């Protein structure tokens, strides 16, 4: 939930800064609304693509971690015998 709220807040701030030109009116202009709609849609699509890629990679990452934790550590080489 925290990550979702962080993404939502960043998206809102980014689109607001990009699209809202002035605070002279109580309501958004048609141009500002259109800009906000397209900005939010772009960011939502990008977020969905990133999440899809992440969901696809998670099983492989978890499997690799399990293999690393389940595998025995590196075997130490024996000390060489001192020469005569």
Work out the pLDDT band at 54, boundaries 50, 70, 90. confident
Look over the chain and give the mean of its residue pLDDT values, rounded to a whole number.
82
Angle at 36 between CA 31 and CA 37, to 5 degrees: 100
Work out the pLDDT band at 71, boundaries 50, 70, 90. low
Output 36 or 78, whichever has higher pLDDT.
Answer: 36
* Residues 27 and 14: beta-carbon distance below 8 Å: no
Name 20's Cβ contacts closer than 8 Å, sequence gap at least 6. Answer: 28, 32, 36
Parse the chain into domains and list their residue ranges: 1-20+27-58
C-alpha to C-alpha distances, 41 to 19, 35, 44, 54, nearest whole angstrom:
13, 10, 5, 20
Residues 11-46: tens digit of each pLDDT: 999 999 999 988 888 899 999 999 999 999 999 999
DSSP conformational letter for 26 = S
């Amino acid at each position: 939930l925290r990550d979702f709220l962080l993404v939502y807040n960043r998206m809102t701030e980014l689109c607001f800064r990009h699209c809202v030109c002035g605070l002279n009116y109580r309501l958004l202009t048609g141009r500002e609304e259109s800009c906000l709609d397209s900005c939010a849609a772009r960011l939502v699509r990008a977020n969905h693509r990133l999440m899809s890629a992440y969901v696809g990679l998670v099983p492989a990452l978890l499997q690799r971690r399990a293999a690393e934790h389940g595998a025995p550590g590196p075997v130490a080489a024996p000390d060489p015998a001192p020469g005569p």
